[in-house]
Amino acid sequence: MTHADCGEGELHSHREQGDLEAKIIAALERLSQALNKALWQVSWSQGLSPTQAQVLVYLLACGQRKVKITELAQRFGLGPPTVSASVTALQKKRLIRRVRDPTDQRIVYVCLTASGRRAARRIAHWTDVLQAEIRTLPQTEQERLLATLLEMIGRLQRAGLISVARMCTTCLYFQRDVHADPRAPHHCGLMDRPLMLAELRVECPDHQPLAAGIGTPMNPQLETDTER
């Protein structure tokens, strides 16, 4: 085999790899289009913008946990003024309310009203059609897909391309590949037990982020947040 043949082989290999990556991105784009379409439809039916609908569903998922506008901005990759405008619109619709911290009046939390919870529950079904299709996949394929997507989200987060996600793979307590069971290879230090792939979470209330990706937990007591 000549050097030219080797060069052509390497070029072909790189081209195939590039084609594969492009196909993955194209597939993700199509999935994104399906998600956006479903979100637009349910938002329109409730007289809301997609951002307003997402805020309601996120607050519902947070339960009793206090949420600030800056957290909403980080979660959806938007500027605080944009999120604040959506919050104001939802407040006028009496779907959410602002609550000031009793110990520091500069700190403002956002929470759902009773009407907001009912609206959020209706909107939360916007992914039902997509979930039905996912359920047709074998359990093992669903688990591998979840693990792959979480890994990709973590990589994009570390690259600064998406906002911080409160998921297992970016958590201080997460220990990767420490168990022999292929269906439960990871470990949660908080619960001190193996994690099934199906148990990996995208939004965890007990999440402790790593500071600058060096294994140091961020101190929530040092975080300050005032409404602009």
Summarised one tens digit per residue, pLDDT across range 107-166 is 889 999 999 999 999 998 888 888 999 999 999 999 889 888 888 887 887 777 776 667
Report the pLDDT value the prediction gives residue 220, as an integer from 0 to 100: 36
Q: Mean pLDDT across the stretch 54-76?
A: 89
Residue 14 has pLDDT above 70, yes or no: no
The whole-number pLDDT of residue 41 equals 92
For residue range 74-118, list pLDDT tens digits in order: 888 888 899 999 999 999 999 999 999 888 888 889 999 999 999
Report domain extents, the chain.
Answer: 138-218
Stretch among 9-13, 15-19, 59-63, 182-186 having the lowest mean pLDDT: 9-13
For residues 194 and 162, the model is more confident at 194
Of 55-59, 73-77, 155-159, 202-206, the range with the highest mean pLDDT is 55-59
Q: Checking phi first, is residue 35 left (phi over 0); if not, alpha (psi -120 to 50) or beta? A: alpha
Alpha-carbon distance of 188 to 177, in angstroms, equals 11
> DSSP class of residue 101?
E
